Chain A
């Protein structure tokens, strides 16, 4: 109800204010144009960078100083710490970054945002920037209509800058004209009381505009027009720094737990920085005066002094927080965790898929690969436990016959329940995410994406086949007929060998080992097919098993064969690195069914 009333009330209120004060209308229009410019600039950087951004990101964030440097540089170029924070949350969610690296970028982004203050204070107010805005808008719009993505991106950037400049111009004019009618500076409040009041105003303004950059420009233009006092402007700047975290918090809402941790880290960092700035405000102001004197900045040039203040207090925040990054990470990992469901088996959720990376094909693809590997892990666990093996023993060097004798549990697990809890939802999310990602991908990605979807389907089908197989394994593993018991023991043994080989393929870096084991898995699938190798005929002919047992054995042999092939197909897609030599040659060297038959014939 309140939401429905809020928007019309705001619009009516603004309309009334515009009617009452044309100058206020000009300032508000300036803010609106400025924000529109930021949207355009963000759009430009997104389409301009494409997959390049994530490549750069991967290479330039492996050390803390690099992460901070990356944050400073990217925010200085893009002029939006919010965009950098939201992108960092996306990359973190996709598993391309660790939490401490991401925190480093956010720290850097806070420092990078100070360049905006410098640009506006030193350049935006002294030059008629509206004169630059017009040609930028014209060139930008022409480029937006071009087909090439890079030109289109450049068009959005130029248009964005044009609107930013125009917005600043309107804000500046509005405040200048305002001065003649109302003196806002008469509302200034001194001392710590004023500091707190204006800090909260700064927070509120930034939360509403969702851009500390816009708030900062507004503060600088108002300060230049003498509409706010220098001390109150400093408090507003501190508030803007705290308020800007709202964008990251909103961005993290759709992200996974890692994204939420980063948004919390951002909030903690900006709160601590703001707190330090408020406590030591007079010392920092002294430092600002001292720095301004050293750089030859006039004592009454408050806009430049505000830029110095912004830089000093953000730098101070980073310096104070750097030693505590690991403590902060540990604290966030301990306090922000996924909620337990209270169910016997926890519902597993996607770890790496995040809608905000959909626009970046390379990152989206990396997220899908990681999530598929997550699904593989769950599949591996379900098949192991479904066949009553201990996973830890299976992946060790322990003799396989001993592995299958050592049971995972007294009772076989309910595969269907595990499927519902650990497979179905993740599989659905991967398929849904892939469909969305596909619309932003070029042809070169489509084939890879199609193969990944196949790998996912293979995993799901392997679990379903295990479910069918489990019924008779339970029935015949303790059957008095030694022959049928032996056949089911062998099925389990062969599947244990398959799982061990697949696990080696998943973890090895040796290409020859991968190639050899993939062929071995395919060879074993045929070799152990009880219908093809004549073992079933032998059992029936000699009346060693009943007809009912023979039917079960025949069906289950097909299920076991399917599990082997599905997992081998999945491993070929998921575990052969796309940059490896083997990937280039796999089609030529892969083993075909006739090659397998030939090898088996020779053996006989």
Chain B
């Protein structure tokens, strides 16, 4: 039995065939959690900022983080359904 086939059969017998997929889902969930926390932090910064120029910069950060959270959620759903 070749090394690749041996690894394949071990993964199958331990029900780990999908482990790369599972690992990606876990990584994505962790990253999404961090992004959501950061979003809350940015929102509170925006609340207390009075300088218009700085407010614009914070809003820009907010739109970027919202974009990443949205994209991350889409990817997570994709992984859940596959």
Q: A interface vs B, CB < 8 Å? A: 510-513, 515-516, 519-520, 523, 581-582, 584-585, 588-589, 591, 595, 599, 602-603
Which A residues are in CB contact (< 8 Å) with B37? 512
- Nearest-Cβ distance from residue A583 to partner chain B, whole angstroms: 9
- Nearest-Cβ distance from residue A510 to partner chain B, whole angstroms: 7
Which B residues are in CB contact (< 8 Å) with A584? 23-24, 27
Are A589 and B64 closer than 8 Å at their CB atoms?
A: no
Which residues of B (47-68) have their CB < 8 Å from a CB of A? 59-61, 63-65, 67-68
Q: B interface vs A, CB < 8 Å? A: 23-24, 27-28, 30-31, 34-35, 37-38, 59-61, 63-65, 67-68, 71-72, 75
* Given known contacts A516-B38, A589-B72, A603 and B60 CB-to-CB distance under 8 angstroms: yes
* Given known contacts A510-B34, A515-B68, A516-B68, A585 and B28 CB-to-CB distance under 8 angstroms: yes
Are B31 and A603 closer than 8 Å at their CB atoms?
A: no
| 16 CB < 8 A contacts A-B | A512-B35, A512-B37, A512-B65, A516-B61, A519-B68, A523-B64, A581-B28, A584-B23, A585-B24, A585-B75, A591-B64, A591-B67, A595-B67, A602-B63, A603-B60, A603-B63
Are B64 and A582 closer than 8 Å at their CB atoms?
A: no
Cα–Cα distance between A252 and B38 once the two chains are bound (Å):
49
Main secondary structure on chain A at its contact with chain B?
helix
* Given known contacts A585-B28, A603-B60, A512 and B67 CB-to-CB distance under 8 angstroms: no
Are A511 and B61 closer than 8 Å at their CB atoms?
A: no
Are B60 and A512 closer than 8 Å at their CB atoms?
A: no
- Nearest-Cβ distance from residue B10 to partner chain A, whole angstroms: 18
Which B residues are in CB contact (< 8 Å) with A520? 60-61, 64
- For B30, give the chain A residue with the smallest CB separation: A581
Cα–Cα distance between A386 and B43 once the two chains are bound (Å):
37
Cα–Cα distance between A239 and B35 once the two chains are bound (Å):
64
* Given known contacts A520-B61, A603-B60, A589 and B68 CB-to-CB distance under 8 angstroms: yes
* Given known contacts A516-B61, A523-B60, A603-B60, A511 and B68 CB-to-CB distance under 8 angstroms: no
- Nearest-Cβ distance from residue A410 to partner chain B, whole angstroms: 30
- For B20, give the chain A residue with the smallest CB separation: A584
Q: Which of B31, B38, B67 contacts A582 (CB 8 A)?
A: B31
- Nearest-Cβ distance from residue A497 to partner chain B, whole angstroms: 10
Are A516 and B65 closer than 8 Å at their CB atoms?
A: yes
Other 13 A-B pairs with CB < 8 A, given A523-B64, A591-B68:
A511-B34, A512-B35, A512-B65, A516-B38, A516-B64, A520-B60, A582-B31, A584-B27, A585-B72, A589-B72, A589-B75, A591-B67, A599-B60
